[in-house]
Amino acid sequence: MTFSQSLVTSRVQLARPALRAASRNARLEVVSRAHGRFFIGGNWKCNGTVESVQSLIKELNDGSVPDAVDIVVAPTFVHLDMVKRELKGPFQLGAQDCWVGKGGAFTGEVSAEMLHDFGIPWVILGHSERRSLCREDDELVGQKCEYALSQGLKVIGCIGETLEQRESGKMFDVLDSQLRAIVNHTSLSNWDNMVVAYEPVWAIGTGVVASPEQAQEAHAYVRKWIADNVSPEVAASLRLLYGGSVNESNCGTLANLEDVDGFLVGGASLKGSSFINICNAENKHS
């Protein structure tokens, strides 16, 4: 048995009763009352043409989504203006990143105050693609969270381990250090404006979704960590999103998990009908 399998097995007792007990109504009560409204983020990453974005906007505007869900889509900077003008409520907008401090002579960057001024309420920070491809370390992500929050943005803070880290038994250490850097740069009141997305790197864009037990195990760990290191009240109200190969078929099962309060969706958010379906995940029977 590998390390990760043994961890999963040891937590199966935790996850299974939640799954078994998940009659739709019972779960809705638990999730909605315990941790706030379900939250779906669509991270469009570096994708889109004028034409494809226009057709995605149309599909989203024509779709039907529940009132009780917060939905945030994050197009590229280039497409933000068009999406802002054309996408209707209930969709909110997010950026995929922003500069670590006040704007100025930082070629190619977009600052938090610009996003706020432009009417973009949310920003994704610490995505694993930025951590690995743009070499953003935990400390920089913590600083970015601090500055974005100080400028009135709401933050989707991303954390998650690589396969190598998981298999070598370092998963909890990685989550600990990513969370600690964010907590070191935030105050208690900031947590009203934060959600945390657990995105295991091995599940991103691979089609290999975390099993319900793996997702619940990591989310339960994060919630306990926040209870111990921030406050039990923040832990109880914090929305924890799962990200990594979420699609129309697996979202119902994942949405049933006790500590999964929403999703951060990549590939499937680029197809309007799929994303709309995922926005309705809480109503799916699994």
Ligand X SMILES: O=C(CO)COP(=O)(O)O
**SS3 annotation, 174-231:** HHHHHHHHHHHCCCHHHHHHEEEEECCHHHCCCCCCCCHHHHHHHHHHHHHHHHHHCC
In whole angstroms, how close is the CB of 29 to ligand X at the nearest point?
28
* Residue 127 falls in the annotated catalytic set: yes
User: Of the candidates 142, 244, 252, 272, which one interacts with ligand X according to CB under 6 A?
Assistant: 244
- 228 contacts: CB under 8 Å, gap ≥ 6: none
Q: In this structure, are residues 229 and 180 in contact, taking their beta carbons and an 8 Å threshold?
A: yes
Q: In this structure, are residues 190 and 147 in contact, taking their beta carbons and an 8 Å threshold?
A: no
From residue 102, alpha-carbon distances to 68, 131, 148, 190 in Å are 35, 21, 10, 19
Q: Give the distance between the most distant pair of CA atoms in the chain.
A: 55
Quote the tokens at residue 226: 């926040």
Q: Looking only at residues 6 through 35 of this chain, which bind ligand X when binding is defined by CB under 6 A?
A: none
Which residue's C-beta sits nearest to ligand X? 266
Nearer Cβ to ligand X (127/131): 127
Q: Which residue has 């309007």 as its token pair?
A: 272
User: Of the candidates 161, 199, 213, 258, which one interacts with ligand X according to CB under 6 A?
Assistant: 199
* Residue 199 falls in the annotated catalytic set: yes
Nearer Cβ to ligand X (156/230): 156
Contact characters 110-149, ligand X, x per CB under 6 A = -----------------x----------------------
Beta bridge partners of 69: 38
Residue 266 lies near ligand X (rule: CB under 6 A): yes
Residue 204 lies near ligand X (rule: CB under 6 A): yes
In whole angstroms, how close is the CB of 200 to ligand X at the nearest point?
10
Residue 250 lies near ligand X (rule: CB under 6 A): no
User: Of the candidates 98, 159, 235, 264, which one interacts with ligand X according to CB under 6 A?
Assistant: 264
Residue 267 lies near ligand X (rule: CB under 6 A): yes
Residues annotated as catalytic (active site), given as ranges: 127, 199
